[in-house]
Structure 1
Amino acid sequence: MYDYTGARTEFRGPTDVAVYLEEIQESLGEFLGEQAGVFHEIISDKVHLDLLVFPPNDIKNNWTLVTSGMSDLPMNAPDNLHPRQDFERAELVFMLPATWFAAGENGMISENQLADPNKYWPIRLMKSLARMPHDYGSWIWSSHTVASQGSPPEPYADNTKMSGVILLRPPSWPEGRDVLRAVDGTKINFFAVVPLHADEMTLKLNKGVKALIIALDSAGVSDVLDAGRPSIVKKKRYLGLF
């Protein structure tokens, strides 16, 4: 559940939440433009997830949604990574076309739009993915794929056939902006959530992440959501590789 603030305000709550909110806001604002507001989570478990909203502007003609709070707690990164602490903290990014939401007078997304499942599902997906490593003592990172619930995995909403995601360093962001070194020395990594079709997930499973990324790039798939795009597997005849 979320409430929102149409202005850039400090979250008031326990001292162990929203640890890096202000630093994340400042860093992202330098290249994403002015932030419209924050969806503040009202009910939280383990981590308090705020959602920063950057509307379409002259810099980027799309909505950019970024979690803040996932990085408050470390993930259970593998022991063989060095330095391990640099792989423990992350936030998620979802980029939506300018037409996905209609901006209100203050540039913020109106609450009534979030009642539409076909509009809200990217936010629901971000929240689920951001909680997953903390709920299960696990770790998610760049090139990791996650399928939706169900067997077979179910599409996220009626307006898309996609049922999984891959996490990537945001391809459209300026170089080096996918990492924030906080004042206390903590390294926060940002990963774009890029939805996938089921057979694209299978391509990655059978041929590896490099084959999937090459296929996505060849088909012109960007980090801005195209909910109705066809599968690149069918388009590029990758079924023959299986």
Structure 2
Amino acid sequence: MADYSTIRPTAGTRSAAIDAGLRAHMNKVYGTMSVGMLITAFAAWAMSGLSVDASGNLTQLGITLYTSPLKWVVMFLPLAMVFLFGAMINKLSAAGAQLFFYTFALAMGVSISWIFLVFTGFSIVQVFLITAVAFAGLSLYGYTTKKDLSGWGTFLIMGVIGLIVASIVNIWLASPAIMFAVSALGVLIFAGLTAYDTQKIKADYIAHAAHGDAEWLGKAAIMGALNLYLDFINMFMFLLQLFGSRE
């Protein structure tokens, strides 16, 4: 006959271990994302400072980054790196994936450095704080809710593809109405993705924790950090387009 007094504590111990591991996993996700955000912020600020002189005119570096054909490389490099990261993640070690993520964060900082030349510093900080509060609330909802958000995935990814296409088309159309619509929809879509991605990170960990694959879990934490980083950055950029005060 089974000794249930032994089975129950064992099951409880396993559950407690998974809970502790999940907390550590989420801490690594948020920690890695935060480091990436700091790299991006510093790179954007430093590059914008090097791009203008004391009179407020573009330096040669600024002309190269923002007005020469190289601007297209700077603009689309982070997007290309996201796709490359997805294709290479299975071949990279956890340390290699982390290095790639930090390199991506640096490239993103250079890509969005123009915001310091267009928007006031106060509005950038203000919108960043608004984004941080909204992100924290949405991520907490995704982590704690009992509602299954997996059904949102396909709809939200299709929305992201639509945003990318509309944004590229509007580079040439330069329509304020399209920009406003894209920004408003972008905020909603990446708000949904913040909750969805947080729940998915949690669910993936619980599904794989029993296997004890430390290498996979390490890379999963980096991929989770990348997804939440992209949610934050995109929500911030769209909110800045809507509410930022221009120089």
Structure with greater helix percent:
2
State the TM-score, normalized to the length of structure 2: 0.24
Query: Which has the larger Rg?
Result: 2
User: Which protein, 1 or 2, shows the higher relative CO under an 8 Å CA cutoff with sep ≥ 6?
Assistant: 2
State the TM-score, normalized to the length of structure 1: 0.24
Structure with greater strand percent:
1
